Amino acid sequence: MAALRAAVPVLALLGLCPGPAAAAAPLVIWHGMGDSCCNPVSMGYIKKLVEKKIPGIYVLSLKIGSSLIQDMENSFFMNVNEQVSEVCRQLAQDPQLQRGYNAMGFSQGGQFLRAVAQRCPAPAMLSLISIGGQHQGSVYGFPRCPGESSHLCDWIRKTLDLGAYSKAVQEHLVQAEYWHDPLKEEEYRKNSIFLADINQERGVNETYKKNLMALKKFVMVKFLNDTMVDPPISEWFGFYKSGQAKETIPLQETSLYKEDRLGLQEMDKAGKLVFLGVQGDHLHFSEEWFDSTILPFLQ
């Protein structure tokens, strides 16, 4: 027994004995349109669920503004580039995140976190999970908003139809900043102040490409019965074939992929891109699906 006890420290030094389990990387969450950081039936629920399933994990649910109401309003009206800059500031100042973190974005929060990955490499984003994020944008219809925002949706819809690419609308309406009209590609490339930039539509920013390629995993979840994102394949980085609005093409057939302007082709070949589908409408999923499919990427 004495000899066995004496051998344990030696075995530990050699790495042959299991030590304490490594803590899970922190998680940063960004909510979608019309939501807030701490809504008890959405992001607050997700935060508590992750904390319950992964004991000891640090979860930061992003709040843009000084109150929950302002956070919700900013999801409609605060310039996305300013929101991304604010989030980069929050992350840089959070001592819990300095050794790296995973990120999970819901709907537009998915593409906004991708912008964070591309623009703000410190602290390091380890993996990005985009749940219903519109990575090639969305267009046509803007069919509905979450919650009790129908009148607001009607106003936004009319505003987008009248001039999504005008300077005033681009700078003050979030949804215009990822409005991608396949019949007005040149206008989109020239005037989109957010999506066209992070999707390298006006030239290749090598820093954006390098930073995105540093991700260990880029997980994209598409809702197979989505009635909110048009086209739904945008959630897998696909879009309409240029010049029309009926036929869609997957990411691998887009010029973005073929020219590898973001490094997605190289990431795909390296097994870093994960495409997941889930039955249901936009952001409709079960706790069981979340537990079995999403949580493993955080552990």
Which tokens sit at 129?
């999970």
Domains, the chain:
27-145+204-239+246-297 (3.40.50.1820)
Q: Which pLDDT does position 242 carry in this prediction? A: 82
Beta-strand pair 239-240/101-106: unpaired
Kindly report whether the peptide bond that precedes residue 231 is cis, defined as omega within 30 degrees of 0.
yes
Cβ atoms within 10 Å of 89's Cβ, excluding its own: 11
Cβ atoms within 10 Å of 206's Cβ, excluding its own: 9
Which residue shows structure tokens 């302007």? 261
Report pTM.
0.89
> What are the Cα distances from residue 265, in Å, to 14, 103, 237?
40, 21, 12
The residues assigned a catalytic role are 107, 226, 282
Distance between CA atoms of 152 and 118, rounded to whole angstroms?
Answer: 31
Q: Is the pLDDT of residue 17 over 80?
A: no
List, for residues 159-208, the tens digit of each pLDDT value: 776 788 999 899 989 989 999 988 889 999 999 999 999 999 999 999 99
Query: For the stretch 146-163, what's the b/e string if a residue is b when 16 or more beta carbons lie within 10 angstroms of its beta carbon?
Result: beebeeebeebbebbeee
